[in-house]
Structure 1
Amino acid sequence: MRRSVGILGAAGFVAVVVGTTAGLPSIPPDTPVRAGPIGVSRSVCGDWTAPPPGTQTLQVRNNAAVAMEVEVIDPASGTVFGELDGVGPGTTRSLPVDLGDGGYALRCVPDDGTPFVGATVRVTGGAARPGPAVVPVTDADLLGPLKRYHVYVADGLGTLAGQTAVLDRSVHSGDREAARRDWLTAHLTYERLGAAYDAFGDSDRALNGTTDGRPGGARDPGFTGFHRLENGLWHDESLDRLAEVADRLDADVRDLAAAFADAQIGQNDLGLRAHEIMENTLQFELTGRTDYGSGSALATAGANLTGTRAVLDVLRPLLAPRFPGLPDLDAWIGRTGRDLGAVEGKPLAELTRRQRERVDADVSELTERLAPIAAITEPRRVS
């Protein structure tokens, strides 16, 4: 889910020096604006002259035989002010930017080559740089957060394996109420691991899939895992019949826990999932689409929020110098947590209109406030 074009992120991003490209040739500030598209190629990244200050749209034409990523940067710091992904050969694309006074250059990243920076132009006659902008995050920057998150998920899977074993025993014992309690405990643990679902591969659908796309609905043999067991436990299906479902769930969790040691979480996954976890909460949990009888959608939303916090915690060293909105985001997460906690344990249908509107508004606003995280933490090739 890469952005195709745009001014990066949200207003208020700050520029932090991450390197230098000193010695680049510069064009005099009084050079008139050149009409027509800015050309990029294998050898030239931006045959352009200084544009006027302010909000505007640059036209960028790729004259190379391969696709290019093109960014508008501060050549002294590497800060990115706008970018285009996947500009095809012979294609002209629009690039919106908001330029204040200072030096700018284009950085070209050929699909099959090394990034390089073009000539510097200097914008004058405007105001201080208004942003938004973001200092690039590299693959190397993400190694530490990814390692810490891998540990978090591995620990969570170890806990989950113990919980599904208890759940399996409860189902086999014939104690439906105990099985329901144990189901909820295990399911919420799984829901706290949201940023790793892509790394789980097919296991996620087996463990937490729904009836969507299942011709047989709840009776479809491919419907397995937590929601299959939930459907049976809360719709009075025979526990003898559910024992096989619980056995498979327990076995699948143990297999995943063992296999995850060698699994890799994608470089883009952390930033993307910080937003997508709550987006999915809004789409599925708060609409009741994934409730198969337990009435635990709000508890699941709380678990998703915990999972989002875990992602932000490992990304915080990268976000703190790049995202001035982080304190406000933390405050909104706190508000959302308090409001979810006030109704936790209730089915959606039992909320008052005021409670429902407040929770929906909290999660909707939080989802929007999390959206810039993906742009900030997307790994970029800079050399």
Structure 2
Amino acid sequence: MIVLKSRRTPLAVLAGVSALAVLTACDSKGDTAAAGAAGGPIRVEATDTACAVSASTANAGNVTFEITNKGTKVTEFYLYAEGDRIMGEVENIAPGLNRRLIVEVADAGKYQATCKPGMAGNGIRSDFTITGGAAKQTNASALKAAATKSYADYISNNTAALEEETAKFVDAVKAKKVDEAKAGYARTRVYYERIEPVAEKFGDLDPLIDAREADLEPGQKFTGFHRLEKDLWKTGLQADSGAIADKLLVDVKDLVGKAKALQLTPLDLANGAKGLMDEVATGKITGEEEAFSHTDLFDFQANLDGSKGAINSLRPVLQEKDATLVSTLDKEFANVQALLDKQRAGDGFKFYNELSPDQIKEFASAVDALSEPLSKVAEVVAR
């Protein structure tokens, strides 16, 4: 089995709310007993079994959390809104480390402060209340605009993480640290798989970064993640592996720059959510995507996260137009997630070739059940 600390929940910001996450190292000082109400920092003490939040309420506006990891596992901290929409998040908080999260929350309501020891599962949650604030948007055009802004924030956060993790992965490949590179491979690809519909909008960049060997056209050079996957797991590092790694980082940086300028529509979100699950149905279910590493379940999780991220951004629009569809989507997302959770190994997943035919069939049925309501989202959004 493979154990990687990789899973992150998608960053889907509450529609009608501007969310800003500022992540910096910080000192935990001062009295935080009444910090939320006073607008000061709220202290979070995270361990492997607890998530102690020093205040349970805060005024609308900028809310600051100072998180200290006193456990033995790498952890994450999230502020969730209704439907597990993420207002802000801090990931990869190593034992003994402090991090600060500043979240702009404009709407009053019920939220949840959550620590995730091991960066997996639903986390340790506590209720958190925002008071005051602006009335929620109800105008359809405003809701759609907020949805695209929310998803743009999601893309921005994932592309930034993709560039950062790719740089680490490339450094490991070039230093010929094979075990380190293998451990970073699936963790890095998570961020790409979440935003693949966006990557596909940039012509040749997607095949340069993500082409599988079996899909190469005659004369097309094998580059990107999957070429390095083959080098690491099958052939051993080659004379040009370092150059392939350097080119991968260049292409990822190009993708990140182009993604910043991309203008998306609500229909792009709807079609992207469906497209990500189609990726699962056509690649991950077959085991063809990660033919050498067999880390397909990490990609599967990332595709599910990305699809759910798009739907969460559209949630207020969908809720207004077809609440029944929202309930169905939530149910089917949960069903697929439950199957993935059964295949966890530590903080990661089993190798795909360890699954039985019956388990693969069960996954395929669940993906089909989710794809059906996802196919209706674009029509609802277009009304």
- TM-score past 0.5 threshold: yes
1:230-276, CA deviations, whole angstroms, 9 ceiling, x for partnerless residues? Answer: 12211133254211111111111112212322222245211112212
Structure 2 residue corresponding to 1:147, chosen from 121, 146, 149: 149
Q: How does 1:122-137 map to 2 (within 5 A)?
A: none
Letter of the 1:342 partner, please give it.
K
Letter of the 2:194 partner, please give it.
R
Q: Do residues 268 (structure 1) and 272 (structure 2) align?
A: no
Give the structure 2 partner of residue 363 of structure 1: 367
* Equivalent residues of 1:145, 1:315 under 8 A apart: yes
Give the structure 2 partner of residue 210 of structure 1: 212
Letter of the 1:331 partner, please give it.
K
| Alpha-carbon shift at residue 366 of structure 1 (Å) | 0.9
| Alpha-carbon shift at residue 141 of structure 1 (Å) | 4.9
**Are the structure 2 counterparts of residues 199 and 149 from structure 1 closer, same or farther at C-alpha, using a change threshold of 3 Å?**
farther
* Equivalent residues of 1:174, 1:239 under 8 A apart: no
Q: How does 1:27-176 map to 2 (within 5 A)?
A: 141-176=143-178
* Equivalent residues of 1:139, 1:267 under 8 A apart: no
SS in 2 for 1:231: helix
Q: Distance in 2 between matches of 1:280 and 1:320?
A: 26
1:74-129, CA deviations, whole angstroms, 9 ceiling, x for partnerless residues? Answer: xxxxxxxxxxxxxxxxxxxxxxxxxxxxxxxxxxxxxxxxxxxxxxxxxxxxxxxx
Give the structure 2 partner of residue 284 of structure 1: 283
Q: Distance in 2 between matches of 1:265 and 1:211?
A: 31
Give the structure 2 partner of residue 354 of structure 1: 358
1:38-84, CA deviations, whole angstroms, 9 ceiling, x for partnerless residues? Answer: xxxxxxxxxxxxxxxxxxxxxxxxxxxxxxxxxxxxxxxxxxxxxxx
* Equivalent residues of 2:195, 2:306 under 8 A apart: yes
Q: Distance in 1 between matches of 2:160 and 2:217?
A: 33
Q: Distance in 2 between matches of 1:282 and 1:326?
A: 22
**Are the structure 2 counterparts of residues 326 and 178 from structure 1 closer, same or farther at C-alpha, using a change threshold of 3 Å?**
same
SS in 2 for 1:287: coil
SS in 2 for 1:327: helix
Q: Distance in 2 between matches of 1:211 and 1:172?
A: 21
Q: Distance in 2 between matches of 1:207 and 1:249?
A: 6
Give the structure 2 partner of residue 343 of structure 1: 343
* Equivalent residues of 1:285, 1:297 under 8 A apart: yes
1:184-219, CA deviations, whole angstroms, 9 ceiling, x for partnerless residues? Answer: 111111111134234433322221122355245xxx
Letter of the 1:333 partner, please give it.
F
Letter of the 1:156 partner, please give it.
N
TM-score normalised to structure 2 length: 0.58
Percentage of identical aligned residues: 26
* Equivalent residues of 2:284, 2:300 under 8 A apart: yes
**Are the structure 2 counterparts of residues 254 and 362 from structure 1 closer, same or farther at C-alpha, using a change threshold of 3 Å?**
same
Give the structure 1 partner of residue 330 of structure 2: 330
| Alpha-carbon shift at residue 362 of structure 1 (Å) | 1.0
* Equivalent residues of 2:296, 2:351 under 8 A apart: yes
**Are the structure 2 counterparts of residues 330 and 274 from structure 1 closer, same or farther at C-alpha, using a change threshold of 3 Å?**
same
What is the aligned residue count?
240
* Equivalent residues of 2:186, 2:299 under 8 A apart: no
Letter of the 1:162 partner, please give it.
E
Q: Distance in 2 between matches of 1:138 and 1:242?
A: 51
Give the structure 2 partner of residue 317 of structure 1: 316
Q: Distance in 2 between matches of 1:359 and 1:199?
A: 28
Letter of the 2:327 partner, please give it.
P
Q: Distance in 1 between matches of 2:146 and 2:235?
A: 47
TM-score normalised to structure 1 length: 0.58
**Are the structure 2 counterparts of residues 239 and 266 from structure 1 closer, same or farther at C-alpha, using a change threshold of 3 Å?**
farther
RMSD (CA atoms): 2.1
* Equivalent residues of 1:298, 1:346 under 8 A apart: yes
Runs of 4+ in 1 over 4 A off after TM superposition: 137-141
Give the structure 1 partner of residue 112 of structure 2: none
Give the structure 2 partner of residue 126 of structure 1: none
* Equivalent residues of 1:199, 1:266 under 8 A apart: no
Give the structure 2 partner of residue 299 of structure 1: 298
Q: Distance in 2 between matches of 1:374 and 1:147?
A: 18
| Alpha-carbon shift at residue 289 of structure 1 (Å) | 2.2
Could you tell which deviates more after superposition, 348-357 or 185-194? 348-357
SS in 2 for 1:235: helix
**Are the structure 2 counterparts of residues 215 and 255 from structure 1 closer, same or farther at C-alpha, using a change threshold of 3 Å?**
closer
